[in-house]
A = this chain, B = another copy of it.
């Protein structure tokens, strides 16, 4: 088994940790953010650009790749890394969350989820065994157990039933796993019920996984609830294994998550926002189509070292966006991904220099200033 997680430093004031994760495709410095490569591509980016932005691991979506081009096809072509020309770590989700998001197109059964493809309506049955089979065909470095994402709101009974399914499926996933070179993470569900969440942690740890994820967050619950659950549960996950806060999030959510002890994050926010012309900076959020940038020779962010900021003006980026040019998406995405990666670099530097709590406070004060 070639998967390892090492903690280099622990913060004194918070639950944050600085670490490294070793995978068959290389090392990942944690806390790490994973850009999302849904369909075998981080939208609008060449793999070399993803790497240049500082990303060390990306996320691939099992649901999408299973439907198109098909996991067997990707396997025949040498696996997902070779297929998409990304020779660094990849984490694949289980397909569970995407299937959950299909709404009325899916039906949860004791042995798996029956769903209809969003592409052609064809019928599929995703079981825990199938989720592992697909992820083994993709040959990702880290696989996720198939879980049943509990919606928000949900009654105690609904949440209990849903969690029972997640726990049962986690065991089936663990037993189905054949490839020793791929790590497998368990997912902690339990909805808005802290006691159920804690019970879930206990059960998952008993089953034993290479890492643990907090799932079922960012599904419509109030932000405070997400913070409460992450704050209560992330710190009680096994200290010697990586902790993954799924689908999180905004820069402030990530800083908060790190303080709770999370090591891994993923979210479509940087890439999707970029395609919609919303650009991140430390001092303001820029809507690039705004006419105030019509003649602005300034880069998006004076303090940013990304390719876009080093070579292009806001005026040019505005022009490309308004003209509907593909290059707008390319350049915007490079900037936003680099912005997220710089955030992770700053977090890791602060941890390394024993000043994370200070960094966090300054960061959150600054964010509040931007929002207000």
Contacting pair A40 B320 (CB below 8 A): yes
A325 CB → nearest B CB, Å = 5
A and B contact pairs by CB, cutoff 8 A, 26 listed: A39-B320, A40-B316, A40-B319, A40-B323, A41-B325, A43-B326, A44-B330, A45-B327, A68-B319, A68-B322, A68-B323, A69-B294, A69-B318, A69-B319, A73-B294, A77-B295, A77-B297, A77-B313, A77-B315, A83-B313, A84-B316, A85-B311, A85-B312, A326-B326, A326-B329, A330-B330
Complex: A33 Cα to B256 Cα, angstroms: 54
Partner of A41, one of B85, B318, B327: B327
- Which residues from chain B contact A327 at a C-beta distance below 8 Å? 41, 43-46
A-B pairs, 10 with minimum CB distance: A44-B326, A69-B319, A41-B327, A85-B311, A39-B323, A41-B325, A83-B316, A77-B315, A77-B297, A73-B295
Is A346 among interface residues, defined by CB-CB distance under 8 A?
no
In the complex, chain B residues whose CB is within 8 Å of the CB of A329:
326
Count residues on chain A whose CB falls below 8 Å from chain B CBs. 34
Residues of B within 8 Å of A69, CB to CB, are 294, 315, 318-319, 322
Picked from B68, B76, B312, B323, the residue with its CB within 8 Å of the CB of A295 is B76
- Closest chain-B Cβ to A327's Cβ sits at a distance in Å of 4
Say whether A78 faces chain B, with CB atoms less than 8 Å apart. yes
Instruction: Please name the residue on chain B nearest to A310 by beta carbon.
Output: B85
List of B residues within 8 angstroms of A73 by Cβ: 294-295, 315
Q: Which of A64-85 contact B (CB under 8 A)?
A: 68-69, 73, 76-78, 83-85
Additional A-B contacts beyond A44-B326, A69-B315, A83-B315 (7; CB < 8 A): A39-B323, A41-B327, A45-B327, A46-B330, A68-B323, A69-B319, A326-B326
Cα of A73 to Cα of B44 in the assembled complex, Å: 28
Contact flags (1/0) for A299-320 with B, using CB distance below 8 Å?
A: 0000000000001110110111
Q: Please, which residues of chain B bring their CB within 8 A of the CB of A295?
A: 73, 76-77
**Bound CA span A73–B322, Å:** 15
Distance between Cα atoms of A230 and B46 in the complex (Å)? 41
Residues on the B chain within 8 Å of A39, using CB: 319-320, 323, 325
Q: Which residue of B lies closest to A307 (CB)?
A: B46
